[in-house]
Structures are given as structure tokens and as C-alpha cells.
């Protein structure tokens, strides 16, 4: 039973440090030292959210993903394993910014009335954390809140972010026709392992895959998962795990991991991979993956989220056709404006599938993907997954194949619905998906790369006095600026001068900067366009400051 006195007393242990906080694209994320009060307050909100949703279980993940080891963060997971509903993000911000314990209590009680949540009703919360040194302390802040708010909770200790999302979905679907899986860490490995084995029937991977785990939680979890997977010789996959040192928390995300590889456009310096070896990198909480290799002329080649999306869409489309279900299933791809134009063309022109462009941030992509029977969504940086609608699952379930070939395709499609994490993008599950597809298509990473040629592109970060001056036009998926006045017009005039030119600028949702993206038919043109657009942004930002 929650009591005002208990909340006041517990809150007094975790005073607000006088910082202004905001629940952003990826929850709260910053220097771990500043987060005690934030995590405490997120605990109160998790209890409230569970109560609002009739006692369904809410997840809390403590992680700062690819950020440096001194940072940490916290985010909420809704009952089906999806991100917190957008309309509740301001509630989190409001609680985090209450200045005193009394103000916090008043805000909490006001919020409970506002959302019509009975603070005495049962509340259920589960949580986990990544490997950061600040994790255990922040867990104490969280449990102080859950106790004070009278919520029942389970501590799942150290997990990847997608594992926690999986568990939330399992707990909330238990005993229903949509039961997602066994609500335990082992249940996660078993589900992926069995689906992988089925999807690999009569196939084998070529060579091995080297997985850089960013010295984060993905390392020990991948080692565990491997125990449930058949090896290469048994029709499975040989996985070499590297950068999996979680004993020394200071090397997390340091010169390795998906963010390093994507932003630096190079393999981790520690990599011992030979030319043409298949490699991939996870990020610090294992919800993001990119593939890469060094080609025969020693050039680094990246296979990012766009490449995974096109590979998956092409495979699933072929399977649907093979099963005789292509007309039954509405398959689509969801990208953001950062997707390479060549990938968008490949999907629409070669695969003949629809592409939807959304604002940045996985929750936008996930939402748009839900409108398809099979929605393939990835951000270029490797966040993403494939989701199957209830209608698609029912169709796959009741369909009776009319030939052995249809039977085989259907079997693989069904296995994919279990292999691919339906709650959220999952680096471990996505990696197994890529391995399955490469084995089925019997292609190398080089052949995968040559499916289409990327347009040269450049992403530039521009620091401005106030990024909030940069707003986008609604309905354009952040591809056009509404303010400062004239900027968009100047960008348009410039872009028209470049062959296959495309460029846009938008304020980052996670960093204090404006991001400029440009692509064009040659490297020199893409670089030139990016630097000129950045110049426009800088000068207009200065004139509006």
C-alpha cells in the first residue's frame, strides 16, 4: 500500500540535484552521478503506469547504451514490450523536475488523478540493468521508489535491453492466445535457439562470424545464447566472441561496438579479422547491430541497418512468394530520412515493396511498421527489427501449403516469427536473422554488399547556440525545416545543383546539436553538399541567436 509519508521519506534519500531533465528519444540519459533522483522518480511513474493499465507489468531498463561508461540512463517499457507511450513522456519529465520532496509528492498525486490511476491498486514492475558500475546504486534508487509506491517487483539483474523487453511481453501475454514465450532469461535463449535451428534446416553458414560486443552486456549474453545454437558443422553457425570484457567497466564502448564502427567507418582497432571475414558489432546494451568486412584491397565495408533491412525484406518477400502468400501478406519497409537513397530505390524498384519514411527514433518506425502485415524497420545505425501483425501470424498458422516447396517456405517464415524479437530491435536476434539469410541465399558479405551501390553520403554534427530554433515541418518526417526562416529555401536551392543530391538538417533529439545529412552521386559532391548545408545552418543559427 502506497503512503504519502513513505514516498516523502524515500524521496528525501534521493534529492533532485537542481538539473533540468528531459525524457528524450531514449529515456533519460546522462552522467550517472546525476541520475539517482531521476531513477527514483521513474520508479514512481512505472508503478503509476502499471496501475493505470490494470496492473499489467511495466519494465524499467537501466542503461546508457553506446554512451561512455560514466553515463547511465533509464527508460520505461510498456506491456507488449514496446517503448513507453509518447503521451507519458512529459509525465516522466514533470516528475523528474519536481524541485523538492513535497513538490514531487504533490506532482505524483496530481498525476495519478490526471491519468485516473488508483494509487492503491496493484502495480507490477520488472527491471534490469546493463554492466555499468553505477547500475547497482541506481537499482537501489529504483527499488526505494517501488517499495514506497507499494509496487510488486522482480529484479532480473543484468540483461540486454531487448531481453527485458522480451520478458515484459512474456509476462503480460502469459496464458493468452498470444503468449510470447517463457518469462525467463533461459526462455529467451530457448526460443531463439529453437527458431534458429528450424530456420537453418538443410542449410549451413559459410565460415564464422566475429561478434564485437562493445565490452558490454551483449558479451556474456551471447556466450550464453551460443549454448543453445547448433555449431557450423551441425548446420548452425560458428560465432567468435570478441570485446566481451565486462570485468573492467571502463572499457565499455571504448574503441569498439556498433556506434564506433558506424560513426568512425572502421573496424575496431583491436580487430584481428582477415580480409573478407564476416564481422559484426553490437552496441553497449545489444539493441543495435551492424555488419562489416575488410575487402581484398583492404578497404573497410559497412553493412548497416539499411543493408539489413533490404536483405530481410528481400528474403521475406521471396519466402512469402515461395509459400504462395505474397498476395495475402502486405509487406513494407520503414526507414528514416537517414536511410541511403540507394536502399530506398532498391526496395521500391527491385523488390517492388512500399517504403514509409518516419521521424528519427525507433518508436516512430515501430509504430509505422505496425500498419503492415510484415513491417521491416531499421534505422541506418542498426536499430530495428521485423514485426508480424496478428493477422499475418493467423495467416501463417492456418495456411495449408499446396506443394513441398510451399511447405518449406512456410516453415521458414514461421520460424522467423519466433527468431525475430517482436517487441523491439534486438542485436542478438537480428544477427541470427542475418546469418540465416546469408546461409539461405548462399551469399558472402561481398555479394550482399553488391546487391546495390550506396550513394556517397556524409553526416555532419553542427553545434549551434540553440538547437530548439530548428523545427521541422509536420508531416515531412523531419526532412524539411520550418524554422529558422529561409534555411529550407537556401538548402533547396543548393541541393538542386548536385546530381542525385539530397540533404536535410534537423535538431538532434539526443545531443545538443543540429545534424546535417547529405548524399550525392560522387564522394566529392556529397562532402561538398554537406559542408555547404552545414555552413547555411551555422550562419542562420547565428543570425537567429
Ligand X SMILES: CC(=O)N[C@H]1[C@@H](OP(=O)(O)O)O[C@H](CO)[C@@H](O)[C@@H]1O
Of the CA atoms within 13 Å of residue 9, those in its CB half-sphere come to 9
Q: Which is nearer to ligand X, 36 or 287 (CB)?
A: 287
Say which entry of Mg ion, ligand X, none residue 509 contacts (CB below 5 to 8 A, set by partner kind).
ligand X
Catalytic annotation on 543? no
* 26 scored as a contact of ligand X (CB under 6 A): yes
Contacts within 8 Å (CB) and 24+ apart, 166-170: 166/81, 166/421, 166/423, 166/426, 167/59, 167/126, 167/128, 168/57, 168/58, 168/59, 168/77, 168/78, 168/79, 168/80, 168/81, 168/126, 168/423, 169/79, 169/80, 169/81, 169/422, 169/423
Instruction: Output the smallest distance, CB 282 to Mg ion, in A.
Output: 9
Please tell me whether 510 is known to bind a ligand: yes
Q: Which does 358 bind (CB under 5 to 8 A by kind): Mg ion, ligand X, none?
A: none
Q: How far is CA 276 from CA 207, 212, 223, 237, in A?
A: 10, 16, 24, 17
Q: Which stretch, 45-53, 89-97, 148-156, 510-518, contacts ligand X (CB under 6 A)? A: 510-518
Q: Which is nearer to ligand X, 145 or 362 (CB)?
A: 362
509 binds ligand X (CB under 6 A): yes
Q: Which three cell numbers stand for residue 515?
A: 545534424
Residue 482 counted as an annotated binding residue? no
- Output the 3-class SS for 471-491: EECCCCCCCCEEECCCHHHHH
Name the residue nearer to ligand X (CB basis): 474 or 511.
511
Nearest Cα neighbor of 74 from 148, 164, 9, 150 is 164
- Cβ–Cβ under 8 Å, residues 313 and 331: yes
Which span (59-67, 167-175, 488-496, 526-534) binds Mg ion, by CB under 5 A?
59-67
Other C-beta atoms closer than 10 Å to the C-beta of 5 total 10
Q: Is 383 in the site for ligand X (CB under 6 A)?
A: yes
Cell representation of residue 510: 539526443
Q: Is 338 in the site for ligand X (CB under 6 A)?
A: yes
Which residue is nearest to ligand X, using beta carbons? 509
Angle at 234 between CA 231 and CA 240, to 5 degrees: 15
Catalytic residue among 11, 37, 50, 65: 65
Residue 314 binds which of Mg ion, ligand X, none (CB < 5-8 A, kind-dependent): none
Is 37 labelled as part of a ligand binding site? no
Which part of the chain contacts ligand X (CB under 6 A), choosing from 217-225, 469-477, 504-512, 519-527?
504-512
Residue 51 touches ligand X, criterion: CB under 6 A: no
Closer Cβ to ligand X, 378 or 498, answer by number: 378
283 part of the interface to Mg ion, by CB under 5 A: yes
Q: Which of residues 391-410 bind Mg ion (CB under 5 A)?
A: none
360 touches ligand X (CB under 6 A): yes
Smallest gap from Cβ 73 to ligand X, in A, equals 10
Closest approach, Cβ 1 to ligand X, in A, equals 38
For residue 515, state whether it binds ligand X (rule: CB under 6 A): yes
Q: How many helices (H) and strands (E) does the chain have?
A: 18, 19
Report angle CA 217, 29, 475 to the nearest 5 degrees: 110
Is 287 within any annotated ligand binding site? yes
Q: Is residue 9 part of an annotated ligand binding site?
A: no
Tell me if 381 contacts ligand X by CB under 6 A.
yes
Q: Which residue's CB is nearer to ligand X, number 337 or number 374?
A: 337
Detail the DSSP E strand segments found in 395-499: 457-462, 471-472, 481-483
Residue 316 CA to residue 308 CA, distance in Å, equals 12
Please indicate if the annotation marks 509 as binding a ligand. Answer: yes
d(CA 285, CA 425): 11
Distance from C-alpha of 102 to C-alpha of 435, rounded to nearest angstrom? 54
Min dist CB 383 to ligand X, Å, is 6
On whether 203 is known to bind a ligand per the annotation, the reply is: no
For residue 446, state whether it binds ligand X (rule: CB under 6 A).
no
Nearest alpha-carbon partner for 124 in 84, 85, 151, 157: 151
CA–CA distances in Å: residue 147 to residues 15, 36, 123: 17, 16, 11
Distance in Å, CB of 302 to ligand X, minimum: 13
**Which candidate, 348, 344, 342, 316, places its Cα nearest to that of 331?**
316
Cα–Cα distance for residue pair 392/137, rounded to 1 Å: 43
Among 417, 469, 508, 544, binds ligand X (CB under 6 A): 508
Please identify which residue in 36, 78, 82, 287 interacts with Mg ion, judged by CB under 5 A: 287
Binding of Mg ion at residue 306 (CB under 5 A)? no
Q: Which stretch, 37-45, 100-108, 469-477, 506-514, contacts ligand X (CB under 6 A)? A: 506-514
Residue keyed to cell 528474403: 315
Q: Rounded CA gap, 519 and 342, in Å?
A: 10
Indicate the residue whose CB is closest to Mg ion: 65
Q: Does 212 bind Mg ion (CB under 5 A)?
A: no
Q: Does 25 help bind ligand X (rule: CB under 6 A)?
A: yes
> Considering just the CA atoms, what is the radius of gyration of the chain in Å?
23
Stretch that binds Mg ion, among 165-173, 276-284, 315-323, 387-395 (CB under 5 A): 276-284
Site string for Mg ion, 61-90 (x = CB under 5 A): ----x-------------------------
Minimum distance of Mg ion from residue 431's CB (angstroms): 14
**CA–CA distances in Å: residue 257 to residues 56, 161, 244, 254, 484:** 34, 15, 10, 8, 36
Q: At what angle do helices 390-398 and 404-419 cross, to 10 degrees?
A: 140
Grid coordinates belonging to 114: 490526471
Nearer to ligand X, 69 or 73 (CB): 73
The answer to whether 516 contacts ligand X (rule: CB under 6 A) is no
Running DSSP on this structure, what letter comes out for residue 522?
S
Which C-beta is closer to ligand X: that of 317 or that of 506? 506
The Cα 107–Cα 99 span in angstroms is 10
285 forms part of the interface with Mg ion (CB under 5 A): yes
Query: Which residues participate in catalysis according to the annotation?
Result: 65
Q: Which residues bind ligand X (CB under 6 A)?
A: 25-26, 338, 360-362, 379, 381, 383, 508-511, 515
Q: Which residues bind Mg ion (CB under 5 A)?
A: 65, 283, 285, 287-288
Amino acid at each position: 500500500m502506497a503512503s504519502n509519508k513513505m514516498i516523502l521519506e524515500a524521496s528525501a534519500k534521493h534529492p533532485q540535484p537542481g538539473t533540468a531533465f528531459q525524457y528524450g528519444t531514449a529515456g533519460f540519459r546522462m552522467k550517472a552521478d546525476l541520475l539517482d533522483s531521476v531513477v527514483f522518480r521513474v520508479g514512481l511513474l512505472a508503478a503509476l503506469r502499471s496501475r493505470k493499465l490494470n496492473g499489467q507489468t511495466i519494465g524499467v531498463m537501466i542503461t546508457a547504451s553506446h554512451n561512455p561508461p560514466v553515463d547511465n540512463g533509464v527508460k520505461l517499457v510498456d506491456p507488449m514490450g514496446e517503448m513507453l507511450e509518447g503521451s507519458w513522456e512529459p509525465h516522466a519529465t514533470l516528475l523528474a523536475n519536481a524541485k523538492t520532496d513535497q513538490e514531487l509528492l504533490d506532482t505524483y498525486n496530481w498525476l495519478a488523478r490526471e491519468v485516473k490511476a488508483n494509487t492503491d491498486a496493484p502495480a507490477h514492475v520488472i527491471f534490469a540493468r546493463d554492466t555499468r558500475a553505477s547500475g547497482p546504486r541506481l537499482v537501489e534508487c529504483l527499488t526505494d521508489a517501488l517499495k514506497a509506491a507499494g509496487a510488486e517487483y522482480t529484479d532480473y539483474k543484468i540483461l540486454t535491453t531487448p531481453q527485458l523487453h522480451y520478458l515484459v511481453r512474456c509476462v503480460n501475454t502469459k496464458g493468452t492466445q498470444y503468449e510470447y514465450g517463457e518469462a525467463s532469461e533461459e526462455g529467451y535463449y530457448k526460443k531463439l535457439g529453437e527458431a534458429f535451428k528450424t530456420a537453418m534446416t538443410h542449410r549451413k553458414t559459410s565460415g564464422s562470424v566475429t561478434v564485437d560486443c562493445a565490452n558490454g552486456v551483449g558479451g556474456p549474453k551471447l556466450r550464453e545464447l551460443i549454448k543453445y545454437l547448433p555449431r557450423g558443422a551441425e548446420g548452425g553457425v560458428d560465432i567468435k566472441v570478441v570485446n566481451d570484457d565486462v570485468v573492467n567497466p571502463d572499457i565499455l564502448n571504448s574503441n569498439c561496438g556498433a556506434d564506433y564502427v558506424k560513426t568512425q567507418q572502421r573496424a575496431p582497432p583491436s580487430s584481428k579479422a582477415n580480409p573478407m571475414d564476416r564481422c559484426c558489432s553490437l552496441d553497449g546494451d545489444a539493441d543495435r547491430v551492424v555488419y562489416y568486412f575488410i575487402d581484398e584491397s583492404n578497404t573497410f565495408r559497412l553493412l548497416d541497418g539499411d543493408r539489413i533491412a533490404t536483405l530481410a525484406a528481400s528474403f521475406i518477400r521471396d519466402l512469402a512468394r515461395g509459400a504462395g502468400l505474397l498476395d495475402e501478406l502486405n509487406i513494407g519497409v520503414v526507414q528514416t530520412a537517414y536511410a541511403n537513397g540507394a536502399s530506398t530505390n532498391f526496395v521500391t524498384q527491385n523488390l517492388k515493396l512500399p517504403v514509409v519514411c518516419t521521424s528519427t527514433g525507433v518508436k516512430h518506425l515501430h509504430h509505422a511498421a505496425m500498419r503492415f502485415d510484415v513491417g521491416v524497420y531499421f534505422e541506418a545505425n542498426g536499430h530495428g527489427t521485423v514485426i508480424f501483425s496478428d493477422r499475418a501470424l493467423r495467416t501463417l498458422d492456418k495456411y495449408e501449403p499446396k506443394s513441398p516447396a510451399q511447405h518449406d517456405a512456410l516453415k521458414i517464415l514461421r520460424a522467423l516469427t519466433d527468431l525475430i524479437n517482436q517487441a523491439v530491435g534486438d542485436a542478438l536476434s537480428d544477427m541470427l536473422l542475418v546469418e540465416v539469410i546469408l546461409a539461405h541465399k548462399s551469399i558472402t558479405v561481398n555479394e550482399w554488399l553488391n546487391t546495390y551501390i550506396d550513394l556517397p553520403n556524409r553526416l555532419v554534427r553542427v553545434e549551434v547556440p540553440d538547437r530548439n530554433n530548428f523545427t521541422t515541418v509536420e508531416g515531412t518526417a523531419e526532412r524539411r525545416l520550418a524554422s529558422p526562416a529561409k534555411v529550407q529555401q537556401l538548402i533547396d536551392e543548393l541541393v538542386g545543383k548536385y546530381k542525385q543530391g539530397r540533404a536535410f538538417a534537423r535538431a538532434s533529439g539526443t545531443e545538443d546539436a543540429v545534424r546535417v545529412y547529405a548524399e550525392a552521386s560522387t564522394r566529392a559532391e556529397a562532402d561538398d553538399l554537406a559542408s555547404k548545408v552545414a555552413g547555411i545552418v551555422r550562419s542562420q543559427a547565428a543570425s537567429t541567436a
